[in-house]
Structure 1
């Protein structure tokens, strides 16, 4: 590997040169000279206002402090007093090749949030390292964060070469160390340049003090960065910022993050799945009115039909819609003062949408210093990087960061403070599981289970009249409701007042009664509910037919109360009437009852308090229908 180049990127195209300013972030350990380098660069390219340097020199003289080029960027009074960069500063300059916006990001670890903010909007980075101190903790952390944020064009400036006597061997040592680290995380620096920002050596002119270095200057290295393809080449993504009623129109407002659209296009709004055609477009800012718009433009559009659209939804084309998931795998940088833990709940902000999410798992924590990994951790400390799994009760419209960074970055918020930021690495897409290829999104059983915190199921309580089925079902329904579970009692008497009012009690009618009840119960279970179906259902074959509709969702519970106990209770007086001959074909007396041969649970109610039977059934439901600890979704406080 030579001193002149580590990569040989293609020269920027003319189209790229003429485009909007190229964004570059400057990062590095505190006091390694980032702001000094930027200030010198701005001075030597003529970007500073006339008299700016002289004014700063006068300020320094009045305060009895030496002039620093860093003061050009350190605009805050607190920064001048403390000698550190607190906030990100942005300033424009131009080389002979193209315009730039250069972002000077804080180096101190207390201000990593601001550094990430600056780097997130950059297309390339310049990492500054002190030749005296060499590669430090923050140097490695910043390098890893650049990788995490998806920046792949990084140049390195080894600064303060004047303090090591412009020593070639010292430069080689620092270069070898930083290159080895960056390559280990998948970043290959385009250039490593020895510089002295204070004197301007190798900033815009070759350094006579270092004749052994024949590579490009910092400015030439920046000009060699290749502009990213315009986001217009990516699928359409228009996060809805708001919906306004103006005159008689409903204007859907937002900024096109990627892609393009035109009047007449059919848009799909995710995650609602609703679609409509664009009837009109309105623009803000410079430019004439047009029936087309592309990435970077803020627009208002109207639709050809009045569908419900709200802030946070994402408009796209039907054939290239974003993914919909309740589960996200992400790489996260944690900034919170308190550790991130499994089970923690936060607000996830992605584009204009907000979702409550829970940390379902911490798959590994990465030490950005030595790249050591701790698998299956239960917490993530401040300024650490982790691979985590997030779960949401509501579907999240998104892309993976690799597919579309515009909809692949997010932040986590706790008590109005940003506590973490990251990129979406992979997902389990609900559309992949449930989509039919038409762009219409259905909701599958797995998604409903994640939203409810439990699986749906048909809990079929069978037993003699008076066994306690309805009493048990009603109390269990109440207990489940208090938990926040979705449960509903389906009672035989209630169905005979409506759906099954046309049926009698002959054997054929009894079978049809159970068939209809079974179909309804399974439909409700498919919708994610726990159906507590309380039916005598005396015939084993009828119950087997109900089980066959979906065997995995069917749970047969035999409320095994003996006939004499049921007759003693006789809550509706039915046994008395049957003994008197006014009710023919009464189950247990004049008609058979076929008990289950292999029920999932048998509950003996005779001689027991109702509380004991309720507890026994609830315990079974916890084992059978609750999600695992990892998958359990709580109620999110909504």
Structure 2
């Protein structure tokens, strides 16, 4: 028994069928009490996907308790089967046919469905939408239909369940088909088929029903096997949200590994990668896996890392793509379709966080284009969105993000909105609007100086000065005497014969953020001249952030920057090369900086 499993996890022991190679994810949705659990139980029983003897055991338990057996009880029984080994979680059930293996994702409510949607646990290729024949089309029937359309799930099979309660009447079936088909047409969804079934009686689940001779279509299992797997995600364009950059320094190991999980496509050694939104490029030098032998390529769905031939500074949240393949969109203003679940209305007065992939950025509601009652499709013209409403809205982002439009990729167009630390909405990006691209990259692109080596190369300067031009960037809290430390390090290196220059940036925290970014850019340009002259440049800035380092790195290559942090670190993902405690004696700190420069081969002994 796996003790790490939570109480909501349950399992099905599956017989091994090595000849079955295909897999398909399907999601099942529907109004409460319309019979989803019964249908799932039937699918498990009728495809022999239950643990051996489980069906008979549950029937016997019902008989002893004088309780009528229901197939929905199979799921309840499996929840108590922790001792039999667990292979699925609370929302996922495995079953199989002769053609393929299925994962059926149960979506018991809006919030669970939304969370599954965003985390990728429900990357469904098809959907079963259940409607009770007696109750008919309900509010949630329409809401779930709209959610499926937002997710881009094109293959929708509608199961009109509990036909036994309406005496298997064709007229009732046709009434529901007409009503729901009209609704789906308005939201751009076309159902694959409408299948009249009785989950309780097993009619039209695994075998044709003689109770409904008027229906000549497929059974549920026949229809599932007839559905098409979507394009293999390995054959789509390469997309990998950057989870983190991991640096190694032990035993002279200077690798920087870019790590993440590949959403689509594949990457191999030698591919040139462009990172968005920064636009930086470098070629893949090696493919890395934790505790695994070296590999030549990373595939969709795998947690993968790779090193780059040229060290560039990138951050968590960048979207790695292969140069030459279809580019993602990059924008600070997006049009979205979303489903709102927040306790408070979505409105333009509050700040939200938008999370897509590993990117997280502050967002504001700029405009509500349309608010739609998902159950009636009635439109209202107002500038806020209430709970359980669907809307088309325009969001303004604090900085540019990289994404794909929903019609091009579901994986990289889905997002959630976070309000007060809770997932409160989610949806898809349908368009990139009037793009006021990140002002810094625009400006750098327009004004960037073309740096050319003179008759004296960098290598020649390094050989003459027995050092590599490098910026030692010292940062930490505002109340720490970083300038005194910088001057001490400059004096120490100068005394030992190094070409060193202490460049005081004078960039303080009280500057407005945009003004501070501009000053960082100016500082980086000046530093570039000093570095090209072969110097070790010592500089100071208060409370650096990833954005500030990114600003510097648009001019100065990441491999030429060593970040020394003094005191408490406030930001998780800074590329810190050396951490010094507040109050450390200057001589000890100097020796640590000197050792870093030796270990990183910034200063070295002359040849010969």
**Which TM-score applies when normalising by structure 2?**
0.64
Task: Tell me the equivalent position of 1:230.
Answer: 232
1:306 aligns with 2:306: no
Task: Tell me the equivalent position of 1:338.
Answer: 344
1:355 aligns with 2:357: no
Contact preservation (8 Å) 2:29, 2:127: yes
1:407 aligns with 2:419: no
Rounded to whole Å, the distance in 1 between the matches of 2:443 and 2:516 is: 22
Contact preservation (8 Å) 1:120, 1:149: no
Contact preservation (8 Å) 1:88, 1:115: no
Structure 1 residues 223 and 378, CA gap change in structure 2 (3 angstroms): same
Rounded to whole Å, the distance in 1 between the matches of 2:37 and 2:127 is: 14
Rounded to whole Å, the distance in 1 between the matches of 2:147 and 2:105 is: 15
Contact preservation (8 Å) 1:334, 1:421: yes
> What's the secondary structure of 1:311's corresponding residue?
coil
**1:61, CA displacement in angstroms?**
6.0
> What's the secondary structure of 1:47's corresponding residue?
coil
1:251-283 superposed Cα distances (whole Å, 9 cap, x missing partner): 111111122221111111122222111110124
1:473-525 superposed Cα distances (whole Å, 9 cap, x missing partner): xxxxxxxx89877599xxxxxxxxxxxxxxxxxxxxxxxxxxxxxxxxxxxxx
Rounded to whole Å, the distance in 2 between the matches of 1:275 and 1:342 is: 37
Q: Which of residues 331, 334, 340 is equivalent to 1:328?
A: 334
Rounded to whole Å, the distance in 2 between the matches of 1:91 and 1:373 is: 37
Task: Tell me the equivalent position of 1:425.
Answer: 430
Q: Which of residues 256, 278, 284 is equivalent to 1:250?
A: 256
1:532-573 superposed Cα distances (whole Å, 9 cap, x missing partner): xxxxxxxxxxxxxxxxxxxxxxxxxxxxxxxxxxxxxxxxxx
Task: Tell me the equivalent position of 2:391.
Answer: 386
Task: Tell me the equivalent position of 1:30.
Answer: 32
> What's the secondary structure of 2:423's corresponding residue?
strand
**1:121, CA displacement in angstroms?**
1.6
Q: How does 1:130-529 map to 2 (within 5 A)?
A: 130-246=132-248, 247=250, 248=253, 249-283=255-289, 289-319=294-324, 320-375=326-381, 377-428=382-433, 430=435, 486=515
Contact preservation (8 Å) 1:360, 1:391: yes
**1:136, CA displacement in angstroms?**
0.7
Rounded to whole Å, the distance in 2 between the matches of 1:384 and 1:20 is: 37
Structure 1 residues 487 and 257, CA gap change in structure 2 (3 angstroms): closer
1:339-362 superposed Cα distances (whole Å, 9 cap, x missing partner): 111232111111111111111111
Rg larger in structure: 1
Structure 1 residues 300 and 187, CA gap change in structure 2 (3 angstroms): same
**1:294, CA displacement in angstroms?**
2.7
**1:97, CA displacement in angstroms?**
1.5
Task: Tell me the equivalent position of 2:474.
Answer: none
**Which TM-score applies when normalising by structure 1?**
0.61
Contact preservation (8 Å) 1:433, 1:444: no
Structure 1 residues 232 and 306, CA gap change in structure 2 (3 angstroms): same
**1:284, CA displacement in angstroms?**
5.8
Structure 1 residues 430 and 267, CA gap change in structure 2 (3 angstroms): farther
**1:293, CA displacement in angstroms?**
2.4
**1:310, CA displacement in angstroms?**
2.1
Unaligned runs of at least 5 residues, structure 2 = 1-18, 81-88, 447-509, 518-550, 552-608
Task: Tell me the equivalent position of 1:609.
Answer: none
Structure 1 residues 56 and 415, CA gap change in structure 2 (3 angstroms): farther
**1:131, CA displacement in angstroms?**
0.6
Rounded to whole Å, the distance in 2 between the matches of 1:100 and 1:42 is: 11
**1:372, CA displacement in angstroms?**
1.4
Contact preservation (8 Å) 2:268, 2:284: yes
Contact preservation (8 Å) 1:148, 1:331: yes
Rounded to whole Å, the distance in 2 between the matches of 1:290 and 1:37 is: 43
Structure 1 residues 417 and 279, CA gap change in structure 2 (3 angstroms): same
Task: Tell me the equivalent position of 1:460.
Answer: none
> What's the secondary structure of 2:180's corresponding residue?
helix
Contact preservation (8 Å) 1:119, 1:146: no
Structure 1 residues 429 and 322, CA gap change in structure 2 (3 angstroms): farther
Rounded to whole Å, the distance in 2 between the matches of 1:152 and 1:311 is: 32
> What's the secondary structure of 2:313's corresponding residue?
coil
Structure 1 residues 215 and 431, CA gap change in structure 2 (3 angstroms): same
> What's the secondary structure of 1:183's corresponding residue?
helix
Structure 1 residues 358 and 59, CA gap change in structure 2 (3 angstroms): farther
Rounded to whole Å, the distance in 1 between the matches of 2:74 and 2:110 is: 22
